[in-house]
Structure 1
Amino acid sequence: MGKIGLIARREFNERVRKKSFIITTILMPLCMVGIIVLMAWLMTRESDKEREIIVIDDSGMVAPHLVNEGSIRYRMADRTLEQMQEQAPEGAFGILVIGHDIMSNPKAAQLFTYESSTLMIEESISGQIRKIVEDAKLKTYDIDNLDEILAEVQTPIKLQTKEITDSGETRDSSSALNMAAAYIFGLLIYMFVFMYGTMVMQGVIEEKSNKVLELMVSSVKPFQLMMGKILGIASVALTQLLIWVVFIAVAGGAAINYFAGDAMAAAAAMNAGTAGMPAAMGDIGADEMAILSRLTDMRYILTTVIGFIVYFIGGYLLYAAMFAAVGSAVDNEKDTQNLQLPITVPLILAIVVMVSAMQDPNSQIAFWFSMIPFTSPVIMMARLPYGVPMWELLVSVGLLYLTFVGTVWLAGKIYRVGIFMYGKKPSFRELFKWVRYKY
């Protein structure tokens, strides 16, 4: 263990002192915040390019009620459809044709475009036509004050969801927050495991090509060398994660207190069961209040954060051992592509299944993939914000770390042979032979 510790400290000191580590540690949270802000801005930003729609209305009832909306502008046609197909009107985006039987045939509306359309454009046009047709049908019933009646009848329902705990108590639940946390933490596990695992592989390849390993194994065993490298880079990863967590917690806490300080106090009072808390809520909506309530629930936060750390460490150790074995078996990064395939496929599959797990965290596919060690770090983090029984967590974590121990044993056998092999790209059959060698 002393030699493993020396190697781990050497790996840690060498990487932490690099300018790239400092720059990445500082820029990564800023980039993530910037990306989120940019995505939100792009989603809410309306296009500044006007799209003119030429309308041919055979029914005579839709066109008079079409209203310019956003970047879409409507204009009545002055030529036939055939003429406009042969020669496009100047500046026109497309042609909207309304059939004469639009009242009885929902498919009697067609949009011909001169360039690719988008879902937002089509929804805007179809939404207006649907509203116009519905209003026309309602007027056939000849009901007085129909608009006032409809406005009075409309009753939007805001469903408030609460979870029943094992002790029989209830607490606020937010499916929006659960889904966001599942997506973010599952994706972070995937990114970090792949990024730091690849870092182990690249380090082994670099040292092998520089003949450094041949000198080092004269003083330490290959297995000790592999474990020291894995644990050293793991400490780098945890240091970086800790810095990011502190940064996000401080920045996020300051932002929330600035924009929603009273609401956070109300949410904390609600979780503590303090009387008189509704007065602090102000005009905040029920959905936002549920999110803030969960963000002030220490059990929810600790479960998610501790679960992330446990699964990140287990997932990293498992995949880092495999990446180290691949790095020891080749001479350069180009030769790693085929050998990396069995490693990357489970990670990619986990991302695919994660989408299903976010929608139904208690499904059979989500359950079993959260038990399989090669996919459990990503899938279990996608399920954890929704609440997972303790026995499932214990079984999943136990299988993950037991598999890590077995994988390290197999990777160590490949590592001891691979670090001395040069000039040959091994096949999977040869790797299997290396595992069977006796020392």
Structure 2
Amino acid sequence: MSLSLIIKREFNSKVRNKSFIVMTFLSPLLIVAMGTLVAYLANVNKDEVNKIAIHDVAGVFKDDFKDTKNVKYTDLSLMPLETAKKEVAEGESYEGLIYIPQTDSITELATKVEYLSNDSPNLDFVSNIESVVNDKITKYNLKVLGFDYDKIEKAKTRATIHLSKFSGEETFKEGSIIKIIIGGLFGYLIMMFVIIYGNMVMRSVIEEKTNRIIEIIISSVKPFKLMMGKIIGTSFAGILQFLIWTVLGLGLFFILSNVFGVQVGAAAQPEAAAMSQEAMSSAQLYLSEILKLPLFTIFISFIIFFIGGFFLYSSLYAAIGAAVDSETDSQQFLLPIIMPLMLGVYVGFFTVISDPHGTVATVFSMIPLTSPIVMMMRIPFGVPLWQIITSMVLLFGTFFGVVWFAAKIYRIGILMYGKKPTYKEIFKWLKY
């Protein structure tokens, strides 16, 4: 049996599987549905108005709390404090009560203002109360010291730094956010694909082993060739699924964008139209920044790092599948495989974001076990071509080394039944 036949068999068994077909076409719809649901839930309470009572007998702060779209303040200072507390606590009209006690000096209120409520308050709302108190006391302190607060406010300015490269190409601050999102997305996709399809390879080996089909297959093909056929066939199925998701995702995005655009245009008022123009201008800036990214390098690198990372980890998944008799027994061996993937994600999000060209980010983008994730996070920020090529060479070089060891485990373990292997036994298999 040739390698091409094994690859074809594995590929067909994966793509013709009902769960594979369903998830291939259902996943983009589920992602869009989840995004829509999250956006809807985020806007559910946007129009809700919360009533907040204020008890400020001295009248220090009651005029400083201004009504907003979502918060309305009511002064209950004329009531006795206990009556006001009872009305707010037992009634359904108010969310809470801001209590400002009488003090000898306004500066003492910096630590004595209270917010009373039955439920835990929103952190943004608490920060807003603290901001009002801080502003009031700051104004008072400046006045005592002989400073004119209004003049100080007029003297303040907001600087805008224009970003550009030495080549003369202009960029903008939000461009870094775009690079973080794109790099993080591709890095996270590689991690998820490696885990999902690596488990596919492992389950396939375990299934054939437990059904004793492997004994028939192994009589006509070498274990190494069988393992490589499973890895390559499954990787092709994964790439096909990703391409289908990409096409469906772009199609859904195009459809939803057009539908959304029609709805906005139909109901647009002058103010809304002005906001729409501003939003379109902002969208054009983001689109322009995206087009400045090395999109071709990102796409090609994603494919290569996905294949390299998948081959590297799938050889280990295949070896584990051959060594155990059930998926339950495999759990003790999966942690050493998953840990480098998780480390790559953490390094990516905690070091690449802050310093994409730093020593830590550069080193981990070269280490084969983490490079598929970390390097993909770095590429949007601009990585020298020699570093990308070096990382790829190290990745595939390590794969050939790892697959040699994995093949030894696979060759022995594939015909072992009825006993849970230990790390010590697996190391012995490497000597055979």
Give the TM-score range, shorter chain.
Answer: 0.7 to 0.9
Separation of aligned partners in 2, 1:79 and 1:335: 69
State which of 411, 429, 432 in structure 2 corresponds to 1:434.
429
Match of 1:96 in 2: 98
SS at match of 2:330: helix
Match of 1:269 in 2: none
1:307 and 1:252, CA in 2 relative to 1: closer, same or farther beyond 3 A? farther
Separation of aligned partners in 2, 1:411 and 1:342: 14
Q: Give the drift of 1:400.
A: 1.1
Q: Deviations over 1:311-341 (max 9, x none)?
A: 1111111111111111111111111111101
1:388 and 1:321, CA in 2 relative to 1: closer, same or farther beyond 3 A? same
Unpaired stretches in structure 2, ≥5 consecutive residues: 262-276
State which of 354, 359, 363 in structure 2 corresponds to 1:368.
363
Separation of aligned partners in 1, 2:394 and 2:428: 26
SS at match of 2:220: coil
| Residue 14 (1) aligns with residue 21 (2) | no
| Residue 121 (1) aligns with residue 125 (2) | yes
Separation of aligned partners in 1, 2:70 and 2:289: 39
Match of 1:204 in 2: 205
Separation of aligned partners in 1, 2:159 and 2:256: 30
SS at match of 1:178: helix
1:79 and 1:90, CA in 2 relative to 1: closer, same or farther beyond 3 A? farther
| Residue 413 (1) aligns with residue 408 (2) | yes
Q: Deviations over 1:240-268 (max 9, x none)?
A: 111222333445467678989xxxxxxxx
Verify the 8 A CA contact 2:198 2:313 in the aligned structure 1. yes
| Residue 342 (1) aligns with residue 336 (2) | yes
Separation of aligned partners in 1, 2:43 and 2:156: 26
Verify the 8 A CA contact 1:95 1:111 in the aligned structure 2. yes
Separation of aligned partners in 2, 1:154 and 1:84: 41
Q: Deviations over 1:178-237 (max 9, x none)?
A: 121122112111111111111111111111111111110000011111110111100000
Verify the 8 A CA contact 2:206 2:322 in the aligned structure 1. yes
Verify the 8 A CA contact 1:172 1:290 in the aligned structure 2. no
Mapping of residues 41-56 of structure 1, within 5 Å: 41-46=40-45, 51-56=50-55
Verify the 8 A CA contact 1:160 1:286 in the aligned structure 2. no
Verify the 8 A CA contact 1:54 1:94 in the aligned structure 2. yes
Mapping of residues 357-396 of structure 1, within 5 Å: 357-396=352-391
| Residue 353 (1) aligns with residue 357 (2) | no
Separation of aligned partners in 2, 1:391 and 1:257: 42
1:304 and 1:81, CA in 2 relative to 1: closer, same or farther beyond 3 A? farther
Separation of aligned partners in 2, 1:424 and 1:48: 63
1:414 and 1:351, CA in 2 relative to 1: closer, same or farther beyond 3 A? same
State the AA in 2 paired with 1:332.
S
State which of 286, 294, 311 in structure 2 corresponds to 1:291.
286
Separation of aligned partners in 2, 1:418 and 1:68: 71
Aligned length: 408
Mapping of residues 183-202 of structure 1, within 5 Å: 183-202=184-203
Verify the 8 A CA contact 1:205 1:328 in the aligned structure 2. yes
Match of 2:315 in 1: 321
State the AA in 2 paired with 1:229.
K
Using structure 1 for the length normalisation, give the TM-score: 0.81
Q: Give the drift of 1:84.
A: 4.5
State the AA in 1 paired with 2:9.
R
More displaced stretch, 133-142 vs 224-233: 133-142
State the AA in 2 paired with 1:331.
D
Separation of aligned partners in 2, 1:124 and 1:225: 64
1:113 and 1:296, CA in 2 relative to 1: closer, same or farther beyond 3 A? same
Using structure 2 for the length normalisation, give the TM-score: 0.82
1:367 and 1:110, CA in 2 relative to 1: closer, same or farther beyond 3 A? farther
Match of 1:332 in 2: 326
| Residue 423 (1) aligns with residue 418 (2) | yes
Unpaired stretches in structure 1, ≥5 consecutive residues: 261-281
| C-alpha RMSD of matched pairs (Å) | 3.4
Mapping of residues 179-258 of structure 1, within 5 Å: 179-252=180-253
Q: Give the drift of 1:288.
A: 3.7
Report % sequence identity. 37
State the AA in 1 paired with 2:356.
P
Verify the 8 A CA contact 1:197 1:316 in the aligned structure 2. yes
Separation of aligned partners in 2, 1:158 and 1:43: 31
SS at match of 1:332: coil
Verify the 8 A CA contact 2:55 2:84 in the aligned structure 1. no
Verify the 8 A CA contact 1:370 1:377 in the aligned structure 2. yes
Q: Deviations over 1:28-85 (max 9, x none)?
A: 2222233334334444553566555443436522123313435444343644479949
Separation of aligned partners in 1, 2:195 and 2:346: 16
SS at match of 1:67: coil
More displaced stretch, 284-293 vs 359-368: 284-293
Verify the 8 A CA contact 2:100 2:109 in the aligned structure 1. no
Separation of aligned partners in 2, 1:159 and 1:30: 41
State the AA in 2 paired with 1:65.
D
